[in-house]
Structure formats: structure tokens, C-alpha cells
Structure 1
Amino acid sequence: MDSVNRSPAARFFNSFWLKWSLLGVAVLITGYLSVLMYANGEYTFAILALVIIGTGIYIFANSKTYAWRYVYPGLAGIGLFILFPLIYTIGIGFTNYSNTNQLTFERAQEVLLDRTYITGQSYSFELYAQQHQWIIALSGAESQKVWVSQPFDLEHPSHVIALHVANALPKQPAVSFRMIIQNRNRIGALKVRLPHGEQLMMSSLRRFSAVQPLYKQVGKAQMLVNQKTSASYLPNYKTGFYQQILADGHWGKEVLSPGFSVNIGWANFTRIVTDRGIRMPFIDIFIWTIIFATLTVVFTVIIGMVLACLVQWEALKGKASYRVLLILPYAVPAFISILIFKGLFNQSFGEINLLLSQVFGLRPEWFSNPHLAKAMVLIVNTWLGYPYMMILCMGLLKAIPDDLYEAAAMDGAGPMQNFFKITVPLLLKPLTPLLIASFAFNFNNFVLIQLLTNGGPDRLGTTTPAGYTDLLVSYTYRIAFEGSGGQNFGLAAAISTLIFVLVGALAIINLKASKLQLD
């Protein structure tokens, strides 16, 4: 009764504060996440979170943007899952981002400055457990001296652990080598100091040694000097590596790894055009991708349309059983069917080659011969795709009036004339948008190629890994993750950008062609 009798002003006051409290919490969370990502060097994601969540807060807080509340979730999803990955991929295509150039310049410099080298005598060590604390003991092979520490907490050790001279090692048994391996990260962070002031760090799983930083930063400059060889290095922003600088000011051949990610402009795109080892397989794979997608659509439509007409034939007995059997390939998950076909086409033990060997004396090299491999890919993909087309055609056949066939029969038309003059034209018109979608799907049919052939057989003389059955999407994947010279994400992103442009152009051409056909 209390809530019912409240005045409109009180209800407005409560809803007003509830709304602005929730918005205030959202603003705080957004600010915290943005600052956290920015502090960790994820500048792009920080800006993305700030823009998307900030825009959403503004829309839901402002009464003038009330209509946008219904469309904003969809627009945010498009921006987050379509536009941002696309723009981010295009951006990577203009960088040298790879497995050797993943870090930012600051992080790469930090990694190099953390490297050390042994400068003095090394000592073997033992670790002893004492209740919930630890004792470390060092011994020198030459001096026969023993240095032992006071008990310390290995989880939170002090900055430098002081050692004192002891007559002998502790009497209790040392911890096992397995325990040292399990705690090597904590032990590696320890610094111990001998009585004469020498500081030691862990140099191997059994020894502590006097170490110094391998590289020293000169003043406020970005130059690094190798304290062991006195060689000088400067960051080369064209290659993304610290590179040796010679006395005459020219670059030397030696570079330091890891490198850092830099903007290299159109270098990846020009490399696709100028490097024959990339250009030739790219063109061949692009042509094969179009052929593969086109032939797949043609074969699946022809087989699906013919089978749909057969199972709809009134004189055929047991039509329901035939329909179930013909649709079964569509019911089985594609990756299972692909792996089964991979076994069936096995050159040595596959049932297909065993049958061909018994009947014709043939053993085709399905996975070694480029032409046979392409034929095998088309056969398997046709098997996977025809049930979908058959189901579509079965539904569309019911929409064709029987009067057309009766009128054709009165004019003396036979079954073949009915099929080509009535059935095919009336089916192709509503199927056209679906055929375009099927072409786009098979243009990027990564799962089939990856599971069946992995792009093989491989091409020889290419700069990047490429196979005769590779589609553009699998070719890009192999460049990004399977390159012999390392994972080249920048080059893969550049090729992905070209694929996007090519697919977009083909989509526009198909849409215009379908529009003309529909008109």
C-alpha cells in the first residue's frame, strides 16, 4: 500500500536516481577498463571500448536520442564484430607484425635490457627447507668455502640475501632437483651477496654466478651498447629491429631479437606484386578459388535439381525412403564426412583405390597429383553440398503450377523438354540469391581444405607456403601460422585485404547480374 500511495514526484525522484546511479556505475566501469587497457599498451582496444560504451551511455542517458536505443545494440554489434576486425586487419597489413616483431618498441627494449651475462666465478648451490622457510648454500670448487644464508621466505624474498661463511653445508638433506625445477622462477629472481660484496644470480639449475646486464643504454638516447663486445645498436624503424651501427655510421648486418612492430607502408602489398614467389601462387590460387566455387555451385545445383525432380516423381515408389537416404549427407556433420573421405581416398589403404585396383588395375595418387587432388576436393564438396540444393529445389517444385505441364503435354512436349523449358527456368530465378550465397561460402571454404588436403600437394619454389588445392583463405592462414620463415601476420593481413576487395568486387558483379536476371 505504501508504494501505491506514493506521489508521482516521489516515484519520479526514485526512478531518476536509479537511472543516474546505474549510468554512473557504467561510466566508472568504462573508465576503469579503458585506463587498464591503455596502461597495458592496448591503445586500440581502449579507444574501442571508450567509443562503443561511451556512445551507448550517451544514447541511453539522453531523452533526445530515445529512438536510437532500439537500433544501437545492432549498430554496436556491427561495429564490434564486423567493422573493427576489418579495419584492424587492414591496419596490420601496413605493419611488419610477425612472430619476430610482435612487441612494441618499449617492450622490446625492456626485454633486451633485462638480458645478462656471466662476468665472474660461478658457484654450485643447494636449497634446504626449514619449516616454512628456505636456506640457500653456495660452495666454490676452487676455494672449498661454503656460504649459507639465514632462513628466508621464497615467496617474498628480500631484495638481496646476504650470505655468511660457514664451516660446512647444513646437515639436513637438500631439496630434490625436481623441487628446484618447480621453483626455478622464484629462485631465478633471487639475488645473493657474498661477504666481500659480490652479487650473484642464478645462471643454471645448479649454479649461481656473478652476472651483469648484457646491454647498457647510453644516456637518454635509444642506443644500446653490448658490454661484452662493445658493439653499438640503434633501432632501425624501417625493419623493426635493433641493428648494429658501424663506426662510419652505416648499418651493420647484426640485428637483435626480439624486434618491434613498425609501420612499413605499402611494403607488404608491393611484395605481393613484385615477389614472384608470392605473385605467381597468389594468381594461381585466386583462379583456382573462383573455379572451385563456381564448379561446386554448378555441380550441386545440377545434382540437387535432378534428384529433387526424381523424388517428386509421382510414379516413383518408396519416395520417402529415397528422400531420407539422399538427405543423410546433410545430416552428418561436415568435418566427420571430410575425415571419412580422407580415409576413403587414401592412396595405399583407402577403399576407393582398393576397388579401382581390383576392377581397373589403377591406384590414383589423390593426394600427390595436383589435378587429382583438385578433382577429389570437388567430389567431396559436391557430396557435402547437393542435399542442400535438393531440399531447396523440392520446395520450389511444389510452387510450379501443374497446369504448365498439362499444357505442355497437350503440345506434345516430353519429360526432357518439360525439364529444360519449364522446370529449370522457374527454379533458377528464385535460386539465384541462394546460388550467390553458396558461391561466397565456397569461396572461403576453409574447413574442407584444411581437413582434407591441408592445401597439398605443396608448390615448389614459392616464398611462402602454398599448395595446389589451397584456396585464398587457407593460403592466407598458412602464411600467418605455418610459414617456414616465421609467422608473418602483416603479409597475411595484406593478402586478406586484397581478398576482401576481390570478394567485394565479385559480390557487386553477382548482385548486378542477378538484378538484371530478376528484372
Structure 2
Amino acid sequence: MNLIKYAPSAISAAVSLLLLYISITLFLQEQFGLAMMLVLLTAGFAIIFFSKRLYTARFYYPAVAGLALFTLFPVIYTSYIGYTNYGGSNLLTFEQVQNYYTSQDLIDKESEQAFELVADNDLYRLWLPKTALLSAPFGEADKGSKIELELASQPQNVLGVRDVVKNRELLKSLTLYRGDLELQVSSLKSVAKVLPAYRLIDDTGRLQKADGSILTPDQDVGFYKTESGEELKPGWKVWVGTRNFDRMFHSNGIREPIGKIFVWTVIFALVSVLATFAVGILLALVLQWRELKGKKVYRILLILPYAVPGFISILVFRGLFNQNFGEINFILSALFGIAPDWNTDPIMAKAMVLMVNIWLGYPYMMLLSMGFLQSIPEDHYKAAAIEGAGPIRQFFSITLPQILPPFVPMLISNFAFNFNNLVLIILLTKGGPDMMGTRVPAGDTDILASFTYRIAFTDSSQDFGLAGAISMLMFILVAVISYINLVAMRKMARGTK
């Protein structure tokens, strides 16, 4: 009985210790943001699960913790990235960039000479034929040591390249010396004087190259700069404030495509929601028609697009809409003598994206409509028919007012989904056709989500900072537009009652 009594406390303690261990591991890996979030969640878990007064909080705390970890933290971290220069050229810390430069070496070609690896019982020696120098014996225990050279005659038991390759890590770690001369293995066949390419000269992080020139760290941009002002890569991550937002709103090569893409994103989301809603209701009404025969067959066929994985349907449509070899252009060419440029014409590309998205989205709306239609009392239609109302009047006076209120949250969530429908754009058009004269990768069918994805992951610069700023803007826009839609649709639903 005592074991059962203390089992919950023991489990809570074990979970707390596990979470604390994970937090410490993240701190050691310098993942400070995630580690701090996990520490706070661990503290909350310990307080709630060891307090009798907070017993009821145990039931909803996991959901709150999951929301904080998988929704709130990504939003906060992405927003933070938007205020930095984090990108493909600025992935490292300042210390890591310093180590990168100071660890580079230069080989003195004048001192370079060939060597041979010689076996000496269970040890090895290095023979330098040019200067007739032979090293003292060494083995794995001497890794990283300084080995003396001495004059000697041609040794026996010279080994081949295979043995040199086998022991290359050991050989590279050795320093051969004779008096003031120090040599290191510079390749699989030669040794030479190895000099540092860069040398740290003061506490500010300035570096001096072997040729005497100075590199100065610029903490405002996160790069080392030469005396002529040239920025050297790689750089390091620094806080840049609102610089990424200034680029969005003031740089012509970025502002113009963002404006066009934002307008298209709103149009794409609104048209997708309204069209799928209209098609879904229309098909649901048809399937509700009493005189229709074979309803089950039609219902199965109409639901199939929803049953097939979306990415498969998108890839199939990508082949069907191929402007050179696609079946759709073959049919249009045979019937009407036209072959639209689905992939190169901006208007046709947008039309294609909308058609595919409507095809993928209408089954969901149709299923919801079929359920909502069944909840409308038949007496309402009979009364309307007695008063002489036709099908269209019945739809706008009875059907739409009664199904619209429960549809409002579905339409808002569908709008938010289509506003960020990255998969459709990436798989179908990859954002193309590309816009000309932009400083970032942008296409006419790009929505904000795919535009951000291309900046962060497909552009050569991998500008995570700019992508983070755009993502933050997207989050705010979706929240504001969704709220406006919610208010408008509620008023519409009340007005139709």
C-alpha cells in the first residue's frame, strides 16, 4: 500500500529529473533559449505535481506546456531571429569565427621537402632524403609530440603510401625539429615549415595575416573586414535591430516582390476559401436531392480527392498541367486549338494553382455541408414552398442562414491554412514563374510562406534573419485578418437570421 501511495510522487520526481537533465544538456550545447523554456516548464511541472492545492492543474498543465513548447516558443524564437543577421554566412559565434581563422596554416614552399616513412620494430621514423635527416623513433604514444631529427645514412625498411595514409593523423600531429628548424607533415609526401595564416593581436579580436595586413571585426554587421573594407566570410550572428524590417519596407528589390506576394496571398486564401465553400455546398445539395440515383457512388467519387494524400494529387496535377507534354494541354489543343502556358505565364500559373487547390479543398467543405444540411428541419422548406419560394430563394433564406454560423470557425481556419499553404506552392510551381529584378528569390505564384521558405532554405545566402522578420509579419497578418474575418462573418451570420 505504501508503494502505491508514493508512486505518483516518485513518477513526478523522475520526470522532473529527466526534464532537468535535458535542460542541462541543452545549456551545455549553448541552446540557451530552448533550455530556459524547458527549465520554466520543469519548474511549473514540479510545483503543480507536488502541490495538493494545485491538483486540478495537473489535468490541463500538459496541454499548456505543449502549447508553450511547440507554439509559443517557435513564434518567439522566429521573432528573435528576425532581429539578427542569422544566415548562411553568419551561422557561427564570434569565438568560432576567430578559431576558424587562427587555426588556418600556411606552408612555406621553400622549406618543403619529401619524406619517407620507415619501420623501426613496432615504431616508425621519418627519413628526409634531401637533407639526410632521420627522426627519432615514434609511435601512437608520441602523438602531438616534438621529434628530434639527426643526420643519418639511408635507412632500410621504407614503407609505402598505404602505411603513410594509415598513420596520417599521427604524422600530422608531430613536429620535427633540429636546432631552430621545425617541420611538420604538410601532405602525404612532404614536410615543411607550417606558419599560422592569422594571428590574434589584441583583445578586440583583430587579426594579423601572414603578409602583415590587419583584419578588424565589425560587430555591427558580424564580419571581419579588410583594410579596404571588404567583408570576409564566414561571419557571426549579431543583433541588428530592425534592419531586416527596414530592408522589407525600403529596399526596392525586396519591398516590391513582398507587396505583390502579399496581395496574391490574400487573394489566393480568400478565393480558395470562398470557392471551396461554394463548390462544397453545391455538391452537398446535389447529393441531398431525393430524385438522384446512385448517391453512394457519387459520394464515394466526390470524396476521393480527400482520401488521396495531398502531395500525390499535387504531383499528378503537376504532370497534367505540363505545358509541353501534359494531358490537359493535349485535350485543349485538340478541342479548341489552344495550349496555355501554365508554367511561364503568371496569370495562367495562378489560375492553375487555384484550380488545384479548389480540387483538393472542396471535399472537406462538402462533408461539412452534408452534415449541416441534415440538421435543417424539412418543415422550413415545406413552408417556404407553400409561400411560393423557389430553390434559390430557399437557399438564401433558409439553407445559408442556418449553416453559416457553424461554418464560420471552419472558414476562418481554412483561410489561415491557405494563407500558409506552403506544400501546394512548393510541389506544384516552386513559386514560379520567377519575378525579374528582385534581390531575393520570388515568383508570381509565391505566397508569403513559400517566399519565406525560399529565402531561408533555397537561396544561396540562406537569409534566416530576413525570413524570420517576414514570418513575424505573417503571424501578425494572419492573426489580424482572421480576427477581422471572424467579426465580419459573425455579423453576416447574424444578419442572415
User: TM-score normalised to the size of structure 1?
Assistant: 0.87
1:134 CA displacement: 7.1
Asked if 1:199 corresponds to 2:194, the answer is no
Q: Contact 2:434–2:443 at 8 Å: present in 1 too?
A: yes
The residue identity in structure 2 corresponding to 1:223 is R
> How far apart are the structure 1 equivalents of 2:26 and 2:188?
36
What is residue 216 of structure 2 aligned with on the other side? 234
Q: Contact 2:425–2:431 at 8 Å: present in 1 too?
A: yes
Q: Contact 2:146–2:177 at 8 Å: present in 1 too?
A: no
**Structure 1's 304 and 21: CA in aligned 2 closer, same or farther, altered over 3 A?**
closer
RMSD: 2.9
What is residue 8 of structure 1 aligned with on the other side? none
Gaps of 5+ in 2: none
**Structure 1's 67 and 123: CA in aligned 2 closer, same or farther, altered over 3 A?**
farther
What is residue 46 of structure 1 aligned with on the other side? 35
Deviates more, 1:498-507 or 1:357-366: 357-366
Q: Contact 1:191–1:199 at 8 Å: present in 2 too?
A: no
Q: Contact 2:323–2:340 at 8 Å: present in 1 too?
A: yes
Q: Contact 1:113–1:213 at 8 Å: present in 2 too?
A: yes
1:51 CA displacement: 1.9
Aligned counterpart in structure 2 of residue 293 of structure 1, from 269, 276, 283:
269
The residue identity in structure 1 corresponding to 2:487 is K
Alignment of 1:46-445 (within 5 A): 46-119=35-108, 120-125=110-115, 135=124, 137=126, 139=128, 143=130, 145=132, 147=134, 150=137, 152-153=139-140, 157-162=143-148, 167-168=153-154, 171=157, 174-176=160-162, 180=165, 186=169, 189-196=172-179, 198-226=181-209, 228-245=210-227, 252-445=228-421
1:108 CA displacement: 1.4
Q: Contact 1:456–1:468 at 8 Å: present in 2 too?
A: yes
Q: Contact 1:311–1:319 at 8 Å: present in 2 too?
A: yes
Q: Contact 1:148–1:169 at 8 Å: present in 2 too?
A: no
1:81 CA displacement: 0.8
1:243 CA displacement: 1.9
Gaps of 5+ in 1: 4-10, 246-251
> How far apart are the structure 2 equivalents of 1:463 and 1:471?
17
1:297 CA displacement: 1.1
> How far apart are the structure 1 equivalents of 2:22 and 2:241?
31
What is residue 481 of structure 2 aligned with on the other side? 506
> How far apart are the structure 2 equivalents of 1:169 and 1:304?
89
Deviations 1:462-494 (A, max 9, x none): 11110000000000011111224x111001101
Q: Contact 1:444–1:471 at 8 Å: present in 2 too?
A: yes
The residue identity in structure 2 corresponding to 1:236 is D
> How far apart are the structure 2 equivalents of 1:302 and 1:239?
51
1:239 CA displacement: 0.8
> How far apart are the structure 1 equivalents of 2:183 and 2:336?
76
**Structure 1's 321 and 174: CA in aligned 2 closer, same or farther, altered over 3 A?**
same
1:413 CA displacement: 2.9
> How far apart are the structure 1 equivalents of 2:22 and 2:123?
40
> How far apart are the structure 1 equivalents of 2:151 and 2:91?
47
**Structure 1's 444 and 102: CA in aligned 2 closer, same or farther, altered over 3 A?**
same
**Structure 1's 134 and 59: CA in aligned 2 closer, same or farther, altered over 3 A?**
farther
SS of 1:233 mapped into structure 2: strand
What is residue 248 of structure 1 aligned with on the other side? none
Percent identity between the two aligned chains? 42
SS of 2:90 mapped into structure 1: coil
What is residue 472 of structure 2 aligned with on the other side? 497
> How far apart are the structure 2 equivalents of 1:304 and 1:22?
50
What is residue 515 of structure 1 aligned with on the other side? 490
